[in-house]
Amino acid sequence: MGEFGLIRHLTQGLESRNASTHKGVGDDAAVLSYPETDVLVTTDLLLEGVHFNLTYVPLKHLGYKSAIVNFSDIVAMGGTPRQITVSLGVSSRFTVEHLEQLYAGIRLACEDYGVDLVGGDTSASRQGLVISITCIGDVEKGQAILRSGAKETDLICVSGDLGAAYMGLQLLEREKAASAGQKDFQPDFSGKEYLVQRQLKPEARADIIKQLKEAGIKPTSMMDISDGLSSELMHICEESKCGCRVYEDRIPIDYQTALMAEELNMNLVTAALNGGEDYELLFTVPLTDHEKMEKMPGVKVIGYITKPELGAALVTRDGQEMTLKAQGWNSLA
Amino acid sequence: MGEFGLIRHLTQGLESRNASTHKGVGDDAAVLSYPETDVLVTTDLLLEGVHFNLTYVPLKHLGYKSAIVNFSDIVAMGGTPRQITVSLGVSSRFTVEHLEQLYAGIRLACEDYGVDLVGGDTSASRQGLVISITCIGDVEKGQAILRSGAKETDLICVSGDLGAAYMGLQLLEREKAASAGQKDFQPDFSGKEYLVQRQLKPEARADIIKQLKEAGIKPTSMMDISDGLSSELMHICEESKCGCRVYEDRIPIDYQTALMAEELNMNLVTAALNGGEDYELLFTVPLTDHEKMEKMPGVKVIGYITKPELGAALVTRDGQEMTLKAQGWNSLA
């Protein structure tokens, strides 16, 4: 049906959800309007064989996740995602039905988060699937939460739990290996559904931003945990010119993550510190918000910000200090 | 030096040129401010082996062109490009020096057009080089020039000349073929420098937008010519629900383009109609602006808009009408 026919087909029936969306798909550029807020822009490039493996990632999930990782970046600035543009590079083994599945996931994510799809193009790819998504969002003027605002004595907090998406990846990889050469292989995910879900269908924690606002808490710094807690803590320390102490026994970990680590004979804390793709929020709040934070559901205080001279360290269960290393989840694999 | 060190290295020393740029590279998202204008967003994905061939495209030129094609989309809305984000997928054969060259081209384009580089990331690619650029720009509120505003009797205009970039590509391909297996081969571009330049170092016609504004002309529709005049005319006709007549003898063609077509025994008009990557502007103006348009340098009136029933056609030198086909430059190659 040609490139333009294809894009029209994939984006048909889209309706604007946001007042800031003036003109979407179908011109040289999208036209938006942000008279009263600051504008946030983020972009992510996802490459087959590097960021995803189509052997065990359904295309609809991939579409959903591709959108979510961008929403998460906007949320991690304290903002609200409003629009996305989607560029695809597609090799000849993909059919229109494949692209429909991918777009179904993208459109579902847009629906769930109230985001408008305002631009799309597809081109041929000689290699695998290439997905490039740009997300535009807004935040109250001057209220974007940067990585650079953490101050000494601030409390370090994380939402949700960590390491599950990484364990989900290990599980998918294991089942893939087990399936090799076997016809009609059925992977066994029973009792581990949460891990698979965390890997295949992550969410952006817009609910936490809302909760913080309602509680009258303004984080001093924030980012999302895509490369692992350890690496992200080091970014905050570097950008904010500070050190930190986080407590091993305060890091939130789901029991399925713990069981899976045991089953795979992996170090649980390493997985929680360096396993990526959790898309939870890491943020700091003034010490005076301590009581409010302790009462807040789905959020945990895991440590505090120090003078820069003290460096970034994990305090283990037996009271030892271990310097944090930013190995990131890629190097774990 | 790791991904973050690399991005820091490639983007060091950047200074904001635009008041709308609040926070650039180094956080989850860029922070921008557009209180008084509409915001334009466009994105382009360029894949090695599909959109460019590193055998004959120097990396600095590729960087420049990658930025320009995005600027051109903003310009084609009547806007001014302000910020870009750059995502790269890079295979292991690329060194830091290669990326420096690519970024040198991107930074030069930003300098030439007063644009801020506000976001960048690189990741591994198992395939070739992948370049994804998003450009944000602004335009006076409600003044974006869409493809959908052309009206019957409007004049159809183009800037510059057409077909040269396509002929430049043919020339580069020919010299590449001639060089096969030869050591120290020196390609011969003498007398054809314009064609090579049009292919390797295109420009976005921001000067035409300025000129139109100064002359008090507001185009009723506009787009940039990236896929070929024929294809773009059909987009305008479709979006504006109209037909058109363009005159073969009015299509602006440089003499180098004409000579090269003769040398290659190619149909010149086909090349001018369907050869892509000229990045000139195609636009329509009210008939009442006829005199002003005829006086304007660097712009040519090539035809007029008709009722939709008449379809889109080229009037040949001998007065015949040929229905336009949107074959686009890819299918020419």
pLDDT of residue B333: 33
Element at B108 (helix H, strand E):
helix B96-113
pLDDT of residue B77: 97
The mean pLDDT value for B191-211 works out to: 96
How does residue A326 score in pLDDT terms, banded at 50, 70 and 90?
A: low
Query: In B, which residues are within 8 Å of A136 by CB distance?
Result: 39, 41
Least confident of A122-126, A192-196, A231-235, B4-8: B4-8
Please indicate if any CB of chain B lies within 8 Å of the CB of A8. Answer: no
Asked whether the predicted pLDDT for residue B332 surpasses 70, the reply is: no
Spatial distance between the Cα atoms of A207 and A246, rounded to a whole number of angstroms? 24
Spatial distance between the Cα atoms of A103 and A110, rounded to a whole number of angstroms? 10
The mean pLDDT value for B70-80 works out to: 97
Asked whether the predicted pLDDT for residue A327 surpasses 70, the reply is: no
Per the listing, tokens 């029209």 go with A8
Q: Do A33 and B38 touch (CB under 8 A)?
A: yes
Question: Terminal CA-to-CA distance of chain B, rounded, Å?
Answer: 40
The per-residue pLDDT for range A251-295, each reduced to its tens digit, is 999 999 999 999 999 999 999 999 999 999 999 999 999 999 999
Are B257 and B149 in contact, with CB atoms under 8 Å apart? no
User: What residue spans define the domains of chain A?
Assistant: 2-140, 155-332
Per DSSP, B172 falls in state H
How does residue A333 score in pLDDT terms, banded at 50, 70 and 90?
A: very low
Pick the residue from chain B with its C-alpha nearest to A331: B2
Are A285 and A155 in contact, with CB atoms under 8 Å apart? yes
Please list the residues that pair with A330 across neighbouring strands: none
**C-alpha distances in angstroms, A262 versus A61, A179, A265, A266?**
27, 22, 5, 6
Asked whether the predicted pLDDT for residue B68 surpasses 50, the reply is: yes
Three-state secondary structure readout of chain A: CHHHHHHHHHCCCCCCCCCCEEECCCCCCEEEEEEEEEEEEEEEEEEECCCECCCCCCHHHHHHHHHHHHHHHHHCCCCEEEEEEEEEEECCCCCHHHHHHHHHHHHHHHHHHCCEEEEEEEEECCCCCEEEEEEEEEEECCCCCCCCCCCCCCEEEEECCCCHHHHHHHHHHHHHHHHCCCCCCCCCCCCCHHHHHHHHCCCCCHHHHHHHHHCCCCCCEEEEECCCHHHHHHHHHHHHCCEEEEEHHHCCCCHHHHHHHHHCCCCHHHHHHHCCCCCEEEEEECHHHHHHHHHCCCEEEEEEEECHHHCEEEECCCCCEEECCCCCCHHHC
Please indicate if any CB of chain A lies within 8 Å of the CB of B76. Answer: yes
pLDDT of residue B327: 63
The per-residue pLDDT for range B252-268, each reduced to its tens digit, is 999 999 999 999 999 99
Per the listing, tokens 């179908």 go with A26
CA nearest neighbour of B31 among A78, A280, A122: A78
The mean pLDDT value for B61-66 works out to: 97
The per-residue pLDDT for range A80-130, each reduced to its tens digit, is 999 999 999 999 899 999 999 999 999 999 999 999 999 988 999 987 999
pLDDT of residue B30: 94
Query: In A, which residues are within 8 Å of B144 by CB distance?
Result: 22-23, 29, 31
pLDDT of residue B326: 66
Q: How far is A314 from chain B (nearest CA, A)?
A: 22
Please indicate if any CB of chain B lies within 8 Å of the CB of A119. Answer: yes
| Residue B2: partners with Cβ closer than 8 Å, 6 or more residues away | none
Q: Do B76 and A29 touch (CB under 8 A)?
A: yes
Using DSSP, state whether B122 is helix, strand or coil: strand
Q: Do A123 and B50 touch (CB under 8 A)?
A: yes
Please indicate if any CB of chain B lies within 8 Å of the CB of A88. Answer: yes
The per-residue pLDDT for range B92-109, each reduced to its tens digit, is 899 999 999 999 999 999
pTM of the model: 0.94
Are B137 and A29 in contact, with CB atoms under 8 Å apart? yes
pLDDT of residue B1: 63
Residue B38 — φ and ψ, nearest 5°? -80, 155
Burial of A81 from C-beta contacts in 10 A (0-12 / 13-18 / 19+): buried
The per-residue pLDDT for range A170-202, each reduced to its tens digit, is 999 998 888 887 878 888 888 999 999 999 999
Residue type, A136: I
Mean pLDDT score across all residues of chain A: 93
Q: Do B42 and A30 touch (CB under 8 A)?
A: yes
Query: In B, which residues are within 8 Å of A116 by CB distance?
Result: none
Assigned fold of A155-332? Phosphoribosyl-aminoimidazole Synthetase; Chain A, domain 2 (3.90.650)
- Testing the interface with A: which of B20, B32, B37, B45 to mutate, by most A Cβ within 10 A? B45
How does residue A332 score in pLDDT terms, banded at 50, 70 and 90?
A: very low
| Residue A58: partners with Cβ closer than 8 Å, 6 or more residues away | A101, A200
pLDDT of residue B62: 97
How does residue B129 score in pLDDT terms, banded at 50, 70 and 90?
A: very high
Q: Do A41 and B119 touch (CB under 8 A)?
A: yes
The mean pLDDT value for B115-126 works out to: 91
The mean pLDDT value for A69-83 works out to: 97
How does residue A1 score in pLDDT terms, banded at 50, 70 and 90?
A: low
Phi-psi label, residue A319: left if phi above 0, alpha if psi -120 to 50, beta otherwise: left
Q: What share of chain B is helix, strand, coil (3-state, %, to 5)?
A: 35, 25, 35
Asked whether the predicted pLDDT for residue B2 surpasses 90, the reply is: no
Q: How far is A191 from chain B (nearest CA, A)?
A: 34
Q: How far is B299 from chain A (nearest CA, A)?
A: 20
The per-residue pLDDT for range B307-316, each reduced to its tens digit, is 999 999 999 9
Query: In A, which residues are within 8 Å of B76 by CB distance?
Result: 28-29
Q: Do B27 and A224 touch (CB under 8 A)?
A: no
Among A4, A29, A224, whose Cβ lies nearest the Cβ of B40?
A: A29
pLDDT of residue A309: 96
Spatial distance between the Cα atoms of A229 and B18, rounded to a whole number of angstroms? 34
Query: In A, which residues are within 8 Å of B83 by CB distance?
Result: 41
Query: In A, which residues are within 8 Å of B42 by CB distance?
Result: 28-30, 85, 119
Asked whether the predicted pLDDT for residue A4 surpasses 90, the reply is: no
Pick the residue from chain B with its C-alpha nearest to A122: B45
| Residue A191: partners with Cβ closer than 8 Å, 6 or more residues away | A256, A259
Q: Do B139 and A31 touch (CB under 8 A)?
A: yes
Query: In A, which residues are within 8 Å of B27 by CB distance?
Result: 77, 144, 146-148, 223, 239
Asked whether the predicted pLDDT for residue A331 surpasses 50, the reply is: no
C-beta atoms surrounding A146 within 10 Å: 22
pLDDT of residue B277: 95
Please indicate if any CB of chain B lies within 8 Å of the CB of A144. Answer: yes
Tokens encoding B332:
């020419």
Please indicate if any CB of chain A lies within 8 Å of the CB of B23. Answer: yes
Share of chain A above pLDDT 90, in %: 82
Using DSSP, state whether B236 is helix, strand or coil: helix
Are B167 and B275 in contact, with CB atoms under 8 Å apart? yes
Share of chain B above pLDDT 70, in %: 97
Element at B21 (helix H, strand E):
strand B21-23
Q: Do A29 and B89 touch (CB under 8 A)?
A: no
Burial of A320 from C-beta contacts in 10 A (0-12 / 13-18 / 19+): exposed
Tokens encoding B239:
């979006």
Are B312 and B238 in contact, with CB atoms under 8 Å apart? no
Asked whether the predicted pLDDT for residue B61 surpasses 50, the reply is: yes
Spatial distance between the Cα atoms of A227 and A250, rounded to a whole number of angstroms? 19
Q: Count Cβ–Cβ pairs < 8 Å, chain A vs chain B.
A: 209
Query: In A, which residues are within 8 Å of B45 by CB distance?
Result: 87-89, 121, 123, 130, 132
Asked whether the predicted pLDDT for residue B88 surpasses 60, the reply is: yes
Among A40, A85, A141, whose Cβ lies nearest the Cβ of B43?
A: A85
A2-140 has which CATH code? 3.30.1330.10
| Residue A200: partners with Cβ closer than 8 Å, 6 or more residues away | A57, A58, A61, A65, A168, A172
